[in-house]
A and B are shown apart, each in its own frame.
Chain A
Amino acid sequence: MIFVPPKNLVQAVNEAMMTEMGLDDSVVVMGEDVGVDGGVFRATLGLLEEYGEDRVIDTPLAESGILGTAIGMAAYGLKPVAEMQFSGFMTPSFDQFISHASRIRWRSRGRFSASLVVRAPYGGGIHALEHHSESQEAIYIHTPGLKTVIPSSPHDAKGLLINAIRDPDPVVFLEPKKIYRAFREEVPEGDYTVPLSACNVSREGSDLTLVSWGYVHRLCLEAAEEAAEKEGLDVEVIDVRTLSPLDFQTIADSVTKTGRVVVAQEAPQTLGFASEISARIMEDLILYLESPVIRVTGFDTTMPYHELEDYYMPDVGRIMRGIRKSINF
Chain B
Amino acid sequence: MPKLTLVQAVNDAHKAEMRRDDRVIVLGEDVGVDGGVFRATVDLIDEFGSERVIDTPLAESGIVGTALGMAVYGMRPVTEMQFSGFMPPAYDQLMSHISRIRWRSRGRFEAPMVVRAPYGGGIRSPEHHAESPEVYYAHMPGLKVVIPSTPYDAKGLLIGAIRDSDPVLFLEPKKIYRAFREEVPEDAYAVPLGEARVSREGSDLTLVSWGYVHQVALEAAEMAEGVDVEVIDLRTINPMDRDTVVDSVRKTGRCVVAQEAPSVNSVASELAASVNERTFFSLKAPIERVTGFDVTIPLGSKEDRYIPDAERLERAIRRTADF
Q: A residues near B, CB below 8 A? A: 88, 91-92, 94-95, 97-99, 102-103, 106-107, 130-131, 136, 138-139, 141-142, 144-145, 244, 246, 267-268, 270-276, 278-280, 282-284, 286, 289, 291-295, 299-302, 329
Contacts and interface: CB of A to CB of B under 8 A. Distances in A.
Given A88-B96, A106-B296, A144-B296, A275 B88 contact: no
How many chain B residues sit at the interface, stated as a range, is 35 or more
B88 A279 contact: no
22 contacts: A91-B91, A91-B95, A94-B91, A94-B92, A95-B88, A98-B136, A130-B104, A142-B264, A144-B296, A271-B265, A275-B270, A275-B272, A275-B274, A278-B269, A282-B287, A292-B276, A295-B273, A295-B277, A300-B141, A301-B141, A301-B142, A302-B142
Contacts of A284: 286
Contacts of B73: none
Given A275-B265, A279-B272, A139 B85 contact: no
A102 B262 CA distance: 14
A279 B296 contact: no
Interface in B66-114: 85, 88-89, 91-92, 95-96, 99-100, 103-104
Contacts of A278: 269, 272-273, 276-277
Contact of A286 (B104, B128, B240, B286): B286
Nearest to A131: B96
B276 A282 contact: yes
Contacts of B280: 289, 291-292, 329
B206 interface: no
B286 A270 contact: no
B91 A144 contact: no
B288 A283 contact: yes
Interface of B: 85, 88-89, 91-92, 95-96, 99-100, 103-104, 127-128, 133, 135-136, 138-139, 141-142, 238, 240, 261-262, 264-270, 272-274, 276-277, 280, 283, 285-289, 294-296
B177 to A, nearest CB: 23
B135 A271 contact: yes
B97 to A, nearest CB: 10
Given A275-B270, A292-B277, A293-B276, A107 B264 contact: no
A138 B139 contact: yes
A6 to B, nearest CB: 35
A131 B96 CA distance: 7
A141 B261 CA distance: 13
Given A92-B92, A301-B141, A139 B273 contact: no
A139 B91 CA distance: 11
Given A95-B88, A292-B277, A282 B141 contact: no
Given A106-B296, A275-B269, A276-B269, 11 more contacts: A91-B91, A106-B295, A136-B139, A139-B139, A142-B136, A244-B264, A244-B265, A271-B135, A271-B266, A282-B276, A282-B287
Q: Which of A103, A136, A268, A278 has the most CB of B within 10 A?
A: A278
A139 B261 CA distance: 13
A99 B104 CA distance: 29
Contacts of A293: 273, 276-277
Contacts of A91: 91-92, 95-96
A272 B88 contact: no
Which 5 pairs between the two chains have the least Cβ-Cβ distance? Answer: A95-B88, A278-B273, A279-B272, A271-B139, A94-B91
